[in-house]
């Protein structure tokens, strides 16, 4: 067997020592003394530099991770730099899960949970119905809907009870712990978004209808700020696309895509500005709805990571509404009709399919659209108009494929609303989908420990795609879709599942449901009441990652 030459043996063997005075002076012009000190400097300095490089790399990494600059969707918004993922190599004709597998049906207003709930709560308030009268007596189309899905009806009743309990809890003292996230939420919601009718930013046709009693059909409303006889003519659809995308970024959005308006994804029986929100609108499509500009911003990362209690959607809602309002007005000023579609529920359309058709992202297990830059942490809005654009095509970045293996959101969801099926199997209005059980999800919202007892968002926070814009996540984002073998995705998923800790789904529940009010990440200092106010006794623990 060959003799082993261990590094330490060689270093410690006196035979291998070279006396300093025997060293060869390779540059005769330099005197020995100077040469020696130069050598020693390089020898010692080299080792020190290696150690400093290692320490510097560690320190730089830490700072990059902690820095606000890593909060994707905030840093370079106005220049459009937050939309950093190059979609062009990934363009496809039809996005994953967007190939119809049956007859495509348009969604109806009662397919939207908030329209159902609004109706039920309205009936309760007017005393026209109460749960004691039973499902059979639940009137109108909402009654028809729930009779078709009695299990959903049961969950809806349970949610109403939970919501009442949650509110009671809040009044009895929960508000103390959640003082700061509540103030943040209320500032954005009522200082920024809603007035007495429902909306301040942007203008809302339903408000105009309620104020004047005059119906505001889209043929009137969408042209209301048009002053020109004739719209400005663009040199080409590409010029229109470039300009409007630039303006969308300038008005505050992080991502933007433009597509053809597709009536398949427009609600029936819904039209804001018309009596009853257009409950009798039928399936008409306004003729001037030709193109749709779709855009979105993320919720602030600290709050998203500290869902449920410290998180609010109003943050991103507010900012995406501002873009919608400004863009709507800008387009009107150029002489074209424009109609903003914006959160909370000021839409005639379903946003997700349009995000897919305009190539912003892909459909996910949790039922939301994931975009490469922000994961599921994106709150979209849109403007519909009749400008001719150069349309974006869908993309395939293998996010949906990743979801087939991942399931982290399903494992962490406190309400069990997310499917565990390996592949989507449910046909929803003609498309195969993982179907989010909206009623179950809402039952978690209703039990939430937020100011309005509404919201959860755990699935957004824990998704591996919803990560900050640090080099380590960005590298993963860039490499994974370019790896044809799928090995990178499997490696990343293995790391995600084994290296990272998540609270269990049930831990996120309110204490009265046996949970710990856990958060994924502990809240930042500026959302902890006990850190800034006098006389707040901390009677709770934070059950999240620090």
Chain positions contacting ligand SF4, by CB under 6 A: 364-366, 376, 402-403, 406-409, 413-415, 417-418, 436, 441, 444, 456-459, 463-465
Cβ nearer to other proteins, comparing 64 with 493: 64
DSSP state of 88: G
Cβ nearer to ligand SF4, comparing 283 with 478: 478
- The count of chain residues that interact with other proteins, using the rule CB under 8 A, is 51
Cβ nearer to other proteins, comparing 124 with 472: 472
Asked if residue 450 lies in contact with residue 181, where contact means CB atoms within 8 angstroms, the answer is yes
69 binds, among ligand SF4, other proteins, none (CB under 5 to 8 A by kind): other proteins
482 near other proteins, rule: CB under 8 A: no
409 binds, among other proteins, ligand SF4, none (CB under 5 to 8 A by kind): ligand SF4
- Crossing angle for the helix pair 487-499 and 399-406, nearest 10 degrees? 50
521 binds, among other proteins, ligand SF4, none (CB under 5 to 8 A by kind): other proteins
CB of 162 to other proteins, least distance (A): 30
Exposure string over 183-211, b if 16+ CB within 10 A, otherwise e: ebbeebbeebbbeeeebbbbebbbbbbee
501 near other proteins, rule: CB under 8 A: yes
CB of 306 to other proteins, least distance (A): 10
Asked if residue 78 lies in contact with residue 250, where contact means CB atoms within 8 angstroms, the answer is yes
Sequence-distant contacts of 525-528: CB under 8 A, at least 24 apart:
526/180, 527/180, 527/181, 527/184, 527/302, 527/303, 527/306, 527/310, 528/180
Q: Which of residues 382-411 bind other proteins (CB under 8 A)?
A: none
Task: Give the Cα separation of 531 and 528 in Å (integer).
Answer: 6
CB of 157 to ligand SF4, least distance (A): 18
Q: Which of residues 511-530 bind other proteins (CB under 8 A)?
A: 521-522
406 binds, among ligand SF4, other proteins, none (CB under 5 to 8 A by kind): ligand SF4
79 near other proteins, rule: CB under 8 A: no
Task: Give the Cα separation of 284 and 295 in Å (integer).
Answer: 25
124 binds, among ligand SF4, other proteins, none (CB under 5 to 8 A by kind): none
Q: What residue has token string 């958060």?
A: 519
CB of 26 to other proteins, least distance (A): 8
Distance of CA 22 to the CA centre of its chain: 68
491 near other proteins, rule: CB under 8 A: no
18 near other proteins, rule: CB under 8 A: yes
One residue of 68, 280, 422, 541 binding other proteins per CB under 8 A: 68
60 binds, among other proteins, ligand SF4, none (CB under 5 to 8 A by kind): other proteins
500 binds, among other proteins, ligand SF4, none (CB under 5 to 8 A by kind): other proteins
Cβ nearer to other proteins, comparing 62 with 526: 62
Cβ nearer to other proteins, comparing 58 with 150: 58
**Stretch in the footprint of other proteins (CB under 8 A) among 66-74, 85-93, 100-108, 405-413:** 66-74
One residue of 114, 197, 500, 525 binding other proteins per CB under 8 A: 500
Taking CA atoms, 182 is separated from 192, 193, 311, 315, 527, in Å, by: 14, 15, 9, 12, 9
42 near other proteins, rule: CB under 8 A: yes
535 near other proteins, rule: CB under 8 A: no
CB of 311 to other proteins, least distance (A): 15
Cβ count near 310 (within 10 Å): 28
498 near other proteins, rule: CB under 8 A: yes
Cβ nearer to ligand SF4, comparing 243 with 454: 454
Q: What residue has token string 């509110």?
A: 167
One residue of 12, 30, 31, 49 binding other proteins per CB under 8 A: 49
CB of 546 to other proteins, least distance (A): 6
CB of 157 to other proteins, least distance (A): 39
463 binds, among ligand SF4, other proteins, none (CB under 5 to 8 A by kind): ligand SF4
Pick the closest to residue 348 from 266, 292, 276, 273 (CA basis).
Answer: 266
444 binds, among other proteins, ligand SF4, none (CB under 5 to 8 A by kind): ligand SF4
Alpha helices, DSSP H only, in 360-470? 399-406, 408-412, 438-446, 458-462
Q: Residue 440: CA atoms inside 13 Å, Cβ hemisphere, count?
A: 13
CB of 205 to other proteins, least distance (A): 42
Query: Apex CA 113: angle with CA 523 and CA 286, to 5°?
Result: 115
70 near other proteins, rule: CB under 8 A: yes
Task: Give the Cα separation of 130 and 473 in Å (integer).
Answer: 51
73 binds, among ligand SF4, other proteins, none (CB under 5 to 8 A by kind): none
504 near other proteins, rule: CB under 8 A: no
DSSP state of 264: G
Pick the closest to residue 462 from 286, 349, 305, 308 (CA basis).
Answer: 305
DSSP code string of 115-178: HHHHHHHHHHHHTS--GGG-GGG--HHHHHHHHH-HHHHHHHHHHHHHHHHHHHHIIIIIHHHT
Cβ count near 85 (within 10 Å): 18
Distance of CA 73 to the CA centre of its chain: 10
Binding residues (CB under 8 A) for other proteins: these are: 2, 5-7, 10, 16, 18, 23, 39, 42-50, 52-54, 56-70, 305, 467-468, 470-472, 495, 498-501, 521-522, 545-546
């Amino acid at each position: 067997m060959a003799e082993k030459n261990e590094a330490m043996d060689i270093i410690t063997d006196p035979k291998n020592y070279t006396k300093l005075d025997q060293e060869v002076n390779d540059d005769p012009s330099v005197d020995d003394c100077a040469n020696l000190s130069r050598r020693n400097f390089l020898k010692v300095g080299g080792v020190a530099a290696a150690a400093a490089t290692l320490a510097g790399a560690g320190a730089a990494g830490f700072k990059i991770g902690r820095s606000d600059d890593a909060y994707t969707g905030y840093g370079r918004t106005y220049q459009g730099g937050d939309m950093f993922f190059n979609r062009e190599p990934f363009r496809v004709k039809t996005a994953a899960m967007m190939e119809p597998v049956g007859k495509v049906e348009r969604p109806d207003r009662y397919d939207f949970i908030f329209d159902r709930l609004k109706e039920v709560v309205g009936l309760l308030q007017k005393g026209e119905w109460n749960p004691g009268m039973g499902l059979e007596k639940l009137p109108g189309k909402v009654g028809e809907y729930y009779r078709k899905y009695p299990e959903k009806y049961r969950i809806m009743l349970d949610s109403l009870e939970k919501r009442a309990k949650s509110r009671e809890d809040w009044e009895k003292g929960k508000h103390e712990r959640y003082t700061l996230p509540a103030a943040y939420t209320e500032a954005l919601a009522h200082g920024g978004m809603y007035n007495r009718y429902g909306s301040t930013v942007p203008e809302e046709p339903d408000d105009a209808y309620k104020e004047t009693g005059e119906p505001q059909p889209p043929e009137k409303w969408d042209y209301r700020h048009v002053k020109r006889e004739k719209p400005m003519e663009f040199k080409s659809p590409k010029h229109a696309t470039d300009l409007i995308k630039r303006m969308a970024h300038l008005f505050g959005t992080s991502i933007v895509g433009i597509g053809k308006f597709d009536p398949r994804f427009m609600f029936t029986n819904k039209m804001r500005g018309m009596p009853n929100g257009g409950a009798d609108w039928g399936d008409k499509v306004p003729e001037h709805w030709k193109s749709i500009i779709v855009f979105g911003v993320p919720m602030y990362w600290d709050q998203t990571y500290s869902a449920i209690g410290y998180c609010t959607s109003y943050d991103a809602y507010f900012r995406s509404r501002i873009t919608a309002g400004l863009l709507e007005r800008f387009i009107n000023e150029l002489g074209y009709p424009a109609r903003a579609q914006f959160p909370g529920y000021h839409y005639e359309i379903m946003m997700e399919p349009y995000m897919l058709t305009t190539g912003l992202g892909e459909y996910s297990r949790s039922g939301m659209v994931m975009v490469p830059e922000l994961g599921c942490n994106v709150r979209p809005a849109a403007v519909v108009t009749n400008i001719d654009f150069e349309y974006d095509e869908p993309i395939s970045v293998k996010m949906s494929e990743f979801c087939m293996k991942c399931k982290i959101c399903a494992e962490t969801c406190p309400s069990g609303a997310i499917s565990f099926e390996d592949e989507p199997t449910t046909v929803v209005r003609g498309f195969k989908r993982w179907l989010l059980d909206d009623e179950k999800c809402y039952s978690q919202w209703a039990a939430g420990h937020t100011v309005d007892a509404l919201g959860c968002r755990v699935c957004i926070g824990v998704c591996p795609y919803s990560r900050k814009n640090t080099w380590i996540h960005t590298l993963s984002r860039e490499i994974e879709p370019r790896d044809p073998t799928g090995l990178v995705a499997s490696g990343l998923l293995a790391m995600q599942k084994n290296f990272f800790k998540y609270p269990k789904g049930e831990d996120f529940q309110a204490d009265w449901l046996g949970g710990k009010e856990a958060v994924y990440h502990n809240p930042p200092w500026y959302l902890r009441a006990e850190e800034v106010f006098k006389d707040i006794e901390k009677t709770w623990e934070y059950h999240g990652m620090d």
